[in-house]
Amino acid sequence: MATASIFSTDSTHLFNSSPPIIGKLSPSNFNSVRSTVTFSRKTLTPIRFSSSPADHSPAAAITSPTVEGIATRSKTSLKSRLQGGETLYGMFLLSFSPTLAEIAAHSGYDYVVVDMEHGHGGIPEALDCIRALNAAGVAAVLRLPENCPTWAKKALDLGPQGIMFPMIESRKDATKAVSYCRFPPEGIRGSAHTVVRASKYGIDEGYLGNYADELLIMCQVESAEGVKKADEIAAVDGVDCVQMGPLDLSASIGYLWDPGHKKVREMMRRAEKAVLTSDPAKGGAYLSGFAMPHDGPAAIRERGYNMVAGAVDIGLFRNAAAEDVRRFKMGLVNESDGEDSLDNGKDVDDEKYWSE
């Protein structure tokens, strides 16, 4: 006699050869049991949660469920915050350290770009960093090593809020990048949405209907050719943000060692103007960029940038470590000259010890 299985997700296959959970069924009680014991995929659907658009804290993701219990999309995604007029501040993560990712998140950055173009890590390492950022309530953006469908597919399946394509130089390049992010027929993204992390491994049944609304697609303009076509790139349907790349841009026009050169700045302003004159509400794009020693975060923000990356984790640690060593070495020099820098009280009064 066939027996029932709780593992069936289709009520039409309720009675199969799986281990019994209600015992043997006889012809006399088969129909009565079948009418009362049913299992379906719908019984596995979790209650969805919505968050307040005014609250961007990690706790905002855990609020009261909607009355209907139906999935509602996040009001605190990067894209929705940009649409709400916010200027977002972020950093780049090249170390692929989940610990540094957590520190960045808890420090208050709005987003962190996990950099697979110049960082040493790949998909597994990026996943660890995304999990750390998600747990701390901060959005992750993945920068790809190159503009290709394979990298885009693997990155998108991890479920980042944003994806950044390097070295976009034309409308064609930008159009291809967008197509890599869209499922057919709008694009060519490979589909495994029933099992990948982006859809909560298939638990988020609203994923296919909403993924395009939540994903921030960023295209980098970082060459002289890209600057010439910046207006066309910004106008491509699906391109949400144009990310300026000052170092590669300076290299492309012969000033690798001088990104602050007048000609480089002129090229930057040209591209910035092309993007800023576009209207994101009418098919244009937001403007994003890196802070540089000669062009700090405040200056970038004042020029109208919507997203500002003010730091790189490797650079922050390098600077802090080099300064720490310098201060110690200088202290030894001062002591040898009869000046005890620790006894004069200046260092102790001005800064707390790291353990306090």
Q: How confident is the model at residue 356 (pLDDT cuts 50, 70, 90)?
A: very low
Q: Rounded to the nearest 10 degrees, what angle do helices 313-336 and 98-107 cross at?
A: 90
Is 310 exposed, middle or buried, given 0-12, 13-18 or 19+ CB atoms closer than 10 A? middle
Q: In terms of Cα–Cα distance, which of 261, 259, 262, 268 is closest to 227?
A: 268
179-235 per-position pLDDT tens digit: 999 999 999 999 999 999 999 999 999 999 999 999 999 999 999 999 999 999 999
Residue 308 has pLDDT above 70, yes or no: yes
CB atoms within 10 A of CB 174: 28
Q: How far is CA 149 from CA 18, 44, 180, 354, in A?
A: 41, 33, 5, 45
Mean of the per-residue pLDDT values of the chain:
82
254-263 per-position pLDDT tens digit: 999 999 999 9
Which residues are catalytic, by number? 118
Pairwise CA distance, residues 262 & 238, whole Å: 33
Residue 25 has pLDDT above 70, yes or no: no
Q: How far is CA 194 from CA 6, 52, 152, 204, in A?
A: 20, 28, 18, 9
What lies within 8 Å, CB to CB, of 31 at 6+ separation is: none
| Residues 111/123, Cβ–Cβ less than 8 Å | no
pLDDT at 31: 46
139-188 per-position pLDDT tens digit: 999 999 999 999 999 999 999 999 999 999 999 999 999 999 999 999 99
User: Could you report how far apart the first and last alpha carbons of the chain are, in Å?
Assistant: 70
Pairwise CA distance, residues 193 & 336, whole Å: 66
Pairwise CA distance, residues 26 & 42, whole Å: 28
Once rounded to an integer, what is the mean pLDDT over residues 296-310?
A: 97
pLDDT at 338: 61
**Structural domains of the chain, ranges and CATH numbers in brackets:** 78-317 (3.20.20.60)
Residue 311 has pLDDT above 50, yes or no: yes
Per cent of the chain over pLDDT 70 is 73
pLDDT at 74: 55
pLDDT at 104: 98
pLDDT at 120: 96
Pairwise CA distance, residues 132 & 127, whole Å: 9
Residue 109 has pLDDT above 70, yes or no: yes
Residue 73 has pLDDT above 50, yes or no: no
| Residues 109/102, Cβ–Cβ less than 8 Å | no
Q: Give a three-class secondary structure readout of 99-145.
A: HHHHHHHHHCCCEEEEECCCCCCCHHHHHHHHHHHHHCCCEEEEECC
Residue 40 has pLDDT above 60, yes or no: no
Minimum mean pLDDT range among 38-42, 258-262, 346-350:
38-42
Residue 241 has pLDDT above 50, yes or no: yes
Residue 30 has pLDDT above 80, yes or no: no
